[in-house]
Amino acid sequence: MDYTGQPVALQHVYQATKDGALIIYTKKDILVLFSIMSVYAAKHKLRIAGLSFMPDHYHLGVVGLSRADVAGFERDITAVYTKEFNKSVEKRDGPLFRKPFGCSTKLGNKEIISMLNYIGNNAPVKKLCSNAENTFWNFLVYHQSSCFFAKDPVVIRNESAALKKAITELKGLKGRGRWITYGFLDRVFSNLSIEDQNKFCDYAICLYNFIDYDLAISYYGSFQNMITAMNSNTGKEFGINEQFDVKDDRGYYKAINYIMKSGSYADIKDIIGLPIDDIRKLGRQLLMRFDMNWRHIEKLCHLPDGTLYQKAYSKTRVKGYSRRVPENKKEA
């Protein structure tokens, strides 16, 4: 700590998935992963100043002087979420996340602010939302409001009997130090209207919320200063090895909505484990309608790079070195 009481070092944690597979398809994925992080942040006694979920990775700003301070936390949350995720997908097993996780130490206010800006603005850069303050992706909206998905906040006495019962069960889970599971969500959502599901989501995020907003704001002086800085950020994080796709991420969720509206699948994750020919057929439909490529289809369906397309390369001399440059991409 420095003389102001602020931590002098934070760790920028970057955790990507194996093969770039998607982990955030629906609100259920958000609640399960967020609640697991909440439980283990408490168990490891960690302060979290920033968080951003992305379709295929997440970022955390964690108080700590070294990678060792967050290694146990990362090990626990990735192991538990992998287990929960695989249980929710009939034909999936094995690892979900890449190893090792990315981690970069940020020392002093300038580096910490730059990191928090990057984390807060991650989703807007990929066009998942218009600004940093009004989205669930970085959870900043919940600093000033108790609802994002729903039109109105939960008022227990006015809610339906089904929602009241679901919230009572949710509080029981939280009180026992347990995270939200897919099985629990499947059961309670089956009895809730769409609006009640949205209210439940907001309530659950607020109940499990572990983000230290005051700590993050302390580096900027005010919440508005922080938001202005995040929305102005166009930088790159050089301390972590983050893969970057020049296309934005909106295509994933347009594709997910299209697939579910087709009525061909009971759950979006049913596309994971489909026969390759069926995935190619689905992929052609998506490529015709949305700004996507075959790599996006692979990530959507949890397939390794190159499963659906082949790359042709030519060798190009660059400053005396031989470099493989893609000439084109064609379907396998």
Taking the CA atoms of residue 266, residue 272, residue 273 and residue 275 in that order, the dihedral angle to the nearest 10 degrees is 80
Long-range (24+ apart) CB contacts under 8 A made by 306-315 are 306/332, 307/276, 307/332, 308/276, 308/279, 308/280, 308/283, 308/332
Alpha carbon dihedral 17, 20, 21, 27, in 10-degree steps, equals 70
pLDDT in tens, the chain (332 residues): 554 568 889 999 999 999 999 999 999 999 999 999 999 999 999 999 999 999 999 999 999 999 999 999 999 999 999 999 999 998 899 999 999 999 999 999 999 999 999 999 999 999 999 999 999 999 999 999 999 999 999 999 999 999 999 999 999 999 999 999 999 999 999 999 999 999 999 999 999 999 999 999 999 999 999 999 999 876 555 565 566 565 789 999 999 999 999 999 999 999 999 999 999 999 999 999 998 999 999 999 999 999 998 755 444 444 444 444 444 444 54
Q: In the prediction, which pLDDT does 240 show? A: 59
pTM: 0.90
Does the N-terminal peptide bond of residue 304 adopt cis geometry, omega within 30 degrees of 0? no
Q: Which helix (H) or strand (E) holds 12?
A: strand 9-16
Q: Which two tokens stand for residue 260?
A: 């579910």
**CATH number for domain 9-232, candidates 3.10.620.30, 3.90.79.10, 3.90.1150.200, 3.30.70.1290:** 3.30.70.1290
For the chain, the domains span 9-232, 250-331
Q: What is the pLDDT of residue 323?
A: 43
